[in-house]
Amino acid sequence: MPSQELQEWEAATSGTIPAPVLAMARALDVESTLDDSAVNPATLDIMARILEAEGEDAVFAAANGGTLKGKDFIGVPFLLHAEKAEIKRSAAMFREQGAFPFYMLAHVTNLVTGEVTPLSCGGFSYMTTYWRLRQLGILDNYADGMPLVLVGKPTAKGTVLLLNKYHFPKTTTKPSRGTEK
């Protein structure tokens, strides 16, 4: 039986959901879990970082360095570690605002800092792109994580987050003086 979250979302969209989108939502519903923050590995990791911090500034940095939201990660290239991704059911306050009833909590490696951090994102495009990449087995081709970047696209209703493939910059070396042809 579908979760209450999915039933509410289906009812709110008045039967206008295209069949492939409904199929994805139903599959996510089967896989998803409630937001169990008290025993969630990401939450426990944050708690451990706070308790291991040395000094005043480090304690506050760890406390404020919890799970990043997608909107706070726009433009930052990262590696998505899909094997550690968890599908969660969105809280009522998000669903009541018309949000997708699911989000993903993933561990990503920030390609700027090298830090591994939890990232939470549940936008329609983000979730659909992730799901399709997973369905096609594309995420499995990246043992160290798929290089991605979130791009913010302004719309009349606000900024939409798009999940794009990140292309590493090509490095070129200029010839040394005197060796140019």
d(CA 57, CA 62): 9
Q: Of 3, 99, 88, which is closest to residue 42 (Cα–Cα)?
A: 88
Structural domain spans, the chain: 4-165
Q: What is the pLDDT along the chain (181 residues), one digit of tens a residue?
A: 888 788 887 887 777 888 888 888 888 888 777 655 555 666 677 778 788 889 888 888 777 666 677 888 899 999 999 888 888 887 766 666 667 788 888 889 999 999 888 888 888 888 899 999 999 999 999 999 999 999 989 888 788 888 999 998 887 555 555 544 4
The per-residue pLDDT for range 98-121, each reduced to its tens digit, is: 677 888 888 899 999 998 888 888
d(CA 142, CA 126): 18
Whole-model pTM? 0.69
Instruction: Kindly give, in sequence order, each residue whose CB lies less than 8 Å from that of residue 95, ignoring residues fewer than 6 positions away.
Output: 5, 8, 9, 12, 101
Distances (CA, A) of 151 to 29, 104, 133, 170: 26, 17, 17, 20
